[in-house]
Amino acid sequence: MLATLAGCSSFKTTASLLPIEMINSTGGKVVIPHAYQAFDRLYVSGSIEKSFGSHIPYAAHVDVRLIDAEGRVISEKTDSIEPAAPRSASSISGRYSYVATFPLSQVQQATKIVIRYDMLRHRP
């Protein structure tokens, strides 16, 4: 895939070969996840689709984790889902986008990506 940024020269992105596991919540699900490398980072992005009749609470978020061969979390990023000011995905009603990035040094240790949609707050 080749993309161009305004005012910049072209840059190349490469699809990640890491498998993606999706964990959904009762009020919605992860749809259309993508993982690709650009520059010196792995980008994981996609959409959350709310279930019919449900609403997105203010505590809703997406956890994106890099997991190693022993099942340990190498790194985790959280992106909030803002129901009042959504980053709508593809102008489709009921979908909210997320993105997380990781340095390639962490990605090299990973064997899979886990994307988890959660409607509840993180506990300390």
The chain-wide mean pLDDT, for the chain, equals 82
Residue type, 96: Y
Tell me how crowded residue 67 is: count the other CB atoms within 10 A of its CB: 20
Burial class from Cβ neighbours inside 10 Å (0-12, 13-18, 19+) for residue 72 reads exposed
What pLDDT digit, counting tens, does each position of 38-49 carry?
Answer: 989 999 999 888
Domains defined along the chain, listed by start: 12-118 (2.60.40)
What pLDDT digit, counting tens, does each position of 75-107 carry?
Answer: 999 998 876 655 555 556 667 889 999 999 999
- Residue 74: is its pLDDT beyond 80? yes
Angstrom distance (rounded) from CA 33 to CA 22: 9
pLDDT of residue 86: 54
Which of the two residues, 60 and 6, has the higher pLDDT score? Answer: 60
| Phi (first) and psi of residue 106, to 5 degrees | -80, -35
Angstrom distance (rounded) from CA 29 to CA 50: 6
What pLDDT digit, counting tens, does each position of 28-39 carry?
Answer: 889 889 999 998
| Phi (first) and psi of residue 82, to 5 degrees | -100, 105
Instruction: Give per-residue burial for 40-65: e unless 16+ CB within 10 Å, then b.
Output: eebbbbbbbbbeeeeebeeebbbbbb
Which of the two residues, 63 and 13, has the higher pLDDT score? Answer: 63
